[in-house]
Amino acid sequence: MLHKEVARLLNEQINKELYSAYLYLEISNYYQEKNLAGFQNWYFVQAQEERDHAMLFMTYLQNNSESVTLDTIKAPNTSFSDLKDPLNAAMAHEQYVTKLINNIYDAAFQEKDYRTMQFLDWFIKEQGEEEKNADDLCKKYDLFGSDAKGLYLLDAELGARVYTAPSLVL
């Protein structure tokens, strides 16, 4: 069994990760409507990764004899002002998720819950990668997005992203 507060935060994170998947599906759909199939693909793959994250939190709780409570997933914000706006939203969201993961880590540390800290190590590293990916995308858009040919090539690059299952297996 896990400490009550640690288990509560881990359970809450399932919802946060599923919301992340929702947000990225929303962004994927936005780019689909803008005929940017590469951006659409990139965020569709990202949504799949977020769903995986939710399943990892769920499985970890279950592997520790904790019950899982699924909550309502709120609707994502849909009012993007321009093509760059979703990239900024994704960046801000990943920074928020990093804070959430750090908060769970902190609770586990307070309780000397080394098992949960070890589980979360993968997510700490993953958040570093996700923030970098989001930041790279913002920077690439700033460099190339305002030029039609640049945007075309960037879209082609993002179209090449393929889904891979998470390296963390429970």
Query: Where on the chain is the footprint of ligand FEO (CB under 6 A)?
Result: 17, 20, 50, 53, 94, 97, 130
The residue among 90 and 108 lying less far from ligand FEO, judged by its C-beta, is 90
Q: Give the closest residue to 40 by CA, choosing from 78, 97, 83, 82.
A: 83
CB of 122 to ligand FEO, least distance (A): 11
CA terminus-to-terminus distance, the chain: 17
User: Measured from the CB of residue 19, what is the shortest distance to ligand FEO in angstroms?
Assistant: 10
Question: Scanning the structure block, which residue is given the tokens 């199939």?
Answer: 37
Kindly report the number of other CB atoms within 10 A of residue 48's CB atom.
15
* CA distance linking residue 149 with residue 165, whole number of Å: 32
CB of 168 to ligand FEO, least distance (A): 12
Least Å distance, CB 97 to ligand FEO, is 4
**For the chain, how many residues are written?**
170
CB closest to ligand FEO, residue no: 53
